[in-house]
Amino acid sequence: MSSRWQKIGAHNSFSLIGIEETLLGGQSFAWSPYDPNQWVGLIRQSLVRFKWLEGQLFWVLESGEKITKDELCHYLWLDDSYITALNNLPWRSDPVLGRAVNKFSGLRILRQPMEEVLLVFILSSAKSIPQIKLLCQKVYKLFGNEVSPGFYSFPGWAKLKNLHETEARNLGMGYRAKYLVGTAQYLSANPDFLTEVQNFPYLKARSMLMKLPGVGPKVADCILLFGAEKNEAFPIDTWILQSLEKQYGMSGWKLSQMEEFARIHFGEHAGLAQQFLFSYQRNLTKLN
């Protein structure tokens, strides 16, 4: 059946560690390891499997709705704008970023559905990747579509509105339950909210998102970076905090000062730099 495999791109500048970190590193919780150098996951209503072989990335649709190569390329940010973004980052003059870019060659930002990113990052606070995955799966299983046995798709906020706080807490959400319920209500009352947010420039979009319960500065930046193609967004989580403090010598700096530094130093594609620094910092013990 290997004839089903299709090659994704001729010159996609990936590396094994780059694709692996892109899919499993924590910007999406939809992907799982399959065989060695293979990963499965849902993109909307399509169950897709990727394979890394001899320096090339291949894909196959396992089940669910048809998906085009163009849609996959967009999801994986395989168009030339990635190269442009990378070239605009100061990795030549910044040795910290340089090491990260070199180590995680081809690491990208996945372009995910904004609605789904909103949900998973509301649920992400103070939780590890496996915990977030599990929690998402519980919610998806309750309201989502079973695309393939064991694979449930993101149900959409209209259906999430049917989840009451008590029920959400019973799933193990803890204090995140009231965030989810509150956000579902807000979106129900303002159906075009996310579309509007997407059309505003970064800073305005960010402050709009922060009106949602459970969405603070970090989650808002994740939503904009992973779900709205706003590359200026620079989510500062504990890993980035560590990176800035230890690699960039910014201990004692205020969060607002770090944001300003990121904006000036990394520029309009700061979010891509963030992803490299994040991966480097998080894998620091494994790298040496």
Residues making contact with DNA (CB under 7 A): 25-27, 124-129, 131, 169, 172-176, 178-179, 210, 212-220, 237-239, 254-256, 278, 282
Q: Which is nearer to DNA, 147 or 240 (CB)?
A: 240
Smallest gap from residue 204 Cβ to DNA (A): 15
Q: Which is nearer to DNA, 46 or 124 (CB)?
A: 124
Rounded Cα distance, 216 and 219, in Å: 6
Sequence-separated (6 or more) residues with CB below 8 Å from residue 215: 118, 121, 122, 179, 183, 209, 223
Alpha helix stretches (DSSP H) within the chain = 16-24, 69-75, 81-88, 95-103, 114-122, 129-143, 157-160, 165-170, 176-189, 193-199, 202-209, 217-227, 238-242, 255-266, 270-282, 284-287
Smallest gap from residue 5 Cβ to DNA (A): 29
Smallest gap from residue 172 Cβ to DNA (A): 4
Q: Which is nearer to DNA, 3 or 285 (CB)?
A: 285
Smallest gap from residue 142 Cβ to DNA (A): 16
Long-range contacts of the stretch 202-208 (C-beta < 8 A, 24+): 202/230, 202/232, 202/233, 205/230, 206/233
Smallest gap from residue 221 Cβ to DNA (A): 8
Sequence-separated (6 or more) residues with CB below 8 Å from residue 228: 114, 197, 198, 205
Smallest gap from residue 61 Cβ to DNA (A): 27
Q: Which is nearer to DNA, 28 or 46 (CB)?
A: 28
Smallest gap from residue 80 Cβ to DNA (A): 26
Which among 179, 41, 194 has a CA at the least distance from the CA of 113?
194
Q: Which is nearer to DNA, 66 or 254 (CB)?
A: 254
Which among 84, 109, 89 has a CA at the least distance from the CA of 19?
109
**Exposed e or buried b per residue across 231-245, where buried means at least 16 C-beta atoms within 10 angstroms of its C-beta:** bbbbbbbebbbebbe
Q: Using an 8 Å Cβ cutoff, are 237 and 219 in contact?
A: no
Q: Which is nearer to DNA, 62 or 165 (CB)?
A: 165
Q: Given the structure tokens 């990795």, which residue do they identify?
A: 91
Q: Which is nearer to DNA, 56 or 169 (CB)?
A: 169
Q: Using an 8 Å Cβ cutoff, are 136 and 121 in contact?
A: no
Smallest gap from residue 179 Cβ to DNA (A): 7
Q: Which is nearer to DNA, 45 or 131 (CB)?
A: 131
